[in-house]
Amino acid sequence: MDSKQLPQNFQGFSSESAYLLNDNELTLKRSRKEASKKRKFCVLVACVIQLVVCGGTGYGLSVMYAEIIIVFNTERADAALIQSFNMGMAAASGIMFTWMIKKFGPGVCITIGASVSAIGLFASAFADNLVTITVCTGVITGTAMGICQLCAYLTVTWTFHHNPGLFLVILTFGMSFGQLIGPNMYELFISNYAWSGAFILLAAVSLQLIPFGLVIHLSRYYFVRTSDMSIQEKQRSCCDISLFIDVVIWVLWINFLLLALTGNVEPWFIVDHMISLGFSRKDGAFTSSAIGIGNFIGKLIGAFIKFRCRQVATVYHWIYLGVLMAGLHMIIISLDQLIALFLFCLLFGCIFGLIFSQAPVVMFEASGLDRYPQACAMMNVMFGIGDVFGPLLGGYIKDITGVYNIAFFIASGASVYISVSSVCGVYYSRKRHM
Question: Domains along the chain?
Answer: 36-223+239-432 (1.20.1250.20)
pLDDT surpasses 90 at 335: no
Q: Mind listing the pLDDT tens digit for each residue in 350-367?
A: 998 888 888 888 888 888
Amino acid at 57: T
Q: Are 187 and 252 within 8 A, CB to CB?
A: no
Q: Are 106 and 151 within 8 A, CB to CB?
A: yes
Beta-bridge mates of residue 295? none
Cβ-based neighbour number of residue 395 at 10 Å: 26
Characterize the bridge pairing of strands 18-21 and 28-32: antiparallel
Beta-bridge mates of residue 21? 28
pLDDT at 196: 92
Q: Are 211 and 31 within 8 A, CB to CB?
A: no
Q: Mind listing the pLDDT tens digit for each residue in 258-311?
A: 998 888 788 778 888 888 888 887 888 788 878 878 888 888 888 888 778 777
How much of the chain, in percent, has pLDDT values that exceed 90?
Answer: 27
The full DSSP string for 271-308 is HHHHHHTT--HHHHHHHHHHHHHHHHHHHHHHHHHHHH
Number of H helices, E strands in the chain: 18, 2
CA distances, 298 to each of 122, 304, 321 (Å): 34, 10, 11
What are the start-end ranges of the H helices in 238-280?
247-262, 265-276
Residues 6+ apart with CB under 8 A from 77: 392, 395, 396, 398, 399
Q: Mind listing the pLDDT tens digit for each residue in 41-71?
A: 999 999 999 999 998 898 888 888 888 888 8
